[in-house]
């Protein structure tokens, strides 16, 4: 008999819509011996099978792997990862000029709790659940069969990053739209680079010719290098991390942009509010200000404050690329926050683009929470 959870009557509606999450409040019974990370069947109030997924102790109790009565084994993981590879091939990733991309985007690739990013010949695995951590041997075996040679396991939190296959140095060189980047997959943020901004960095090139550009929360200078490639006259990278800025300086040198690129280790908001200089283009790509609903109000205040400060420091006709990656701040709420920031700044703005994550970060239509990245390109009218 499989380990299982049983739902209260009427709580199967989300599964009928193929939503991949079960919350603890929907559960009426758990079979004895179910541990964190176990594969469990999800049954309705009469005991009929609905789905199968990884169990977790907490509010989000089950992440659903399949709605079919199929074994979650080595063959299952191979088929899921093979499908992910085929999707990326269909959207032409990788290419000659772009060697880094997301191979698995959790629920969007029917592998909830798993992120897999590819940097040239190196794969970085980041499990977001105990179930996926327990499944790493099966995942690694599948990736080996799919011809990936170097594999890194980069857990969330304080656990040590480990090389599971091949050899990896502290710098992996990748290309993105012809720009070269050094990526620190062992010690860098997330899996090493922010691949979700690839299309938006390309768009920035078109707005950068002969412009002064300020990249705030720059990390390793992704937007900075794109602006420089686009012909910017001056690019300033701002971040609170010296390690990130060292990478940005490396990347500027790697591409021959050192003469126009400078970096500043400062706290972003006070810096923007106090600076005397106005810029033609400003990029705001902050970390998630809110990871839970309880922090949403304070996050909105933070987004409003920094966007207001940036809007005030733009030249007339200036361009703002601004983003939120907070899942609990939806697109409408982010937009209304920007309206408030513009009013407080006393400036009129035009909306030029609505931005989002690229196609290698797919979103299940049943799981809109997977579309976490929101962005806008705004132009100052006056």
Which residues participate in catalysis according to the annotation?
325
Range list of H helices, the chain:
13-16, 74-90, 130-134, 136-145, 198-206, 222-229, 242-255, 268-274, 296-312, 331-345
What is the chain's length?
Answer: 382
Six token digits for residue 183 = 């990526």
Six token digits for residue 286 = 């902050």
Three-class SS state of 161:
coil
In whole angstroms, give the CA distance from residue 288 to residue 93: 27
Check: CB of residue 28 under 8 Å from CB of residue 1.
Answer: no
Q: What are the residues facing 215 on neighbouring strands?
A: 237, 283
- Burial class (CB within 10 angstroms; exposed 0-12, middle 13-18, buried 19+) of 311: buried
Q: What are the residues facing 27 on neighbouring strands?
A: 7
Give the list of residues 6+ apart from residue 13 with CB closer than 8 angstroms, or none: none
In whole angstroms, give the CA distance from residue 194 to residue 198: 8
CA max distance for the chain: 70
Among 328, 331, 368, residue whose Cα is nearest residue 351: 331
Check: CB of residue 331 under 8 Å from CB of residue 355.
Answer: no
Token look-up 């594969």 returns 39
């Amino acid at each position: 008999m499989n380990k299982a959870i049983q739902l209260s009557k009427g709580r199967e509606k989300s599964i009928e819509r193929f939503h991949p999450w079960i919350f603890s409040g929907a559960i009426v019974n758990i079979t004895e011996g179910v541990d964190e990370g176990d594969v469990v069947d999800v049954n309705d109030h009469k005991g009929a099978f609905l789905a199968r997924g990884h169990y977790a102790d907490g509010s989000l109790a089950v992440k659903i792997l399949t709605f079919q009565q199929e074994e979650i084994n080595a063959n299952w993981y191979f088929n899921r990862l093979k499908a992910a590879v085929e999707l990326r091939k269909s959207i032409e990733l990788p290419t000659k000029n772009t060697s880094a991309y997301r191979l698995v985007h959790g629920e969007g690739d029917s592998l909830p709790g798993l992120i897999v990013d590819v940097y040239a010949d190196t794969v970085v695995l980041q499990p977001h659940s105990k179930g996926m951590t327990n499944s790493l041997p099966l995942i690694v075996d599948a990736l080996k069969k799919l011809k990936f040679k170097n594999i890194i396991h980069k857990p969330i939190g304080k656990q040590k990053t480990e090389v599971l296959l091949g050899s990896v140095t502290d710098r992996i060189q990748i290309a993105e739209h012809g720009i070269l980047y050094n990526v620190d997959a062992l010690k860098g943020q997330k899996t090493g680079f922010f691949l979700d901004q690839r299309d938006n960095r390309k768009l920035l090139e078109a707005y950068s010719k002969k412009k002064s550009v300020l990249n705030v929360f720059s990390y390793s200078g992704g937007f900075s290098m794109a602006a420089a490639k686009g012909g910017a006259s001056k690019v300033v990278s701002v971040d609170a991390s010296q390690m990130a800025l060292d990478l940005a300086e490396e990347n500027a040198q790697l591409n021959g942009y050192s003469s126009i690129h400078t970096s500043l280790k400062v706290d972003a908001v006070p810096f923007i509010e106090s600076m005397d200089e106005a810029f033609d283009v400003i990029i705001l790509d902050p970390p998630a200000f809110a990871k839970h609903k309880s922090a949403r109000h304070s996050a909105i205040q933070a987004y409003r404050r920094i966007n207001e400060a940036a809007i005030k420091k733009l030249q007339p006709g200036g361009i703002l690329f601004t983003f939120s990656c907070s899942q609990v701040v939806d697109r409408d709420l982010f937009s209304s926050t920007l309206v408030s920031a513009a009013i407080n700044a006393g400036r009129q703005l035009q909306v030029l683009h609505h931005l989002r994550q690229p196609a290698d970060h797919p979103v299940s239509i049943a799981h809109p929470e997977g579309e976490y990245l929101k962005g806008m390109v705004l132009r100052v009218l006056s």
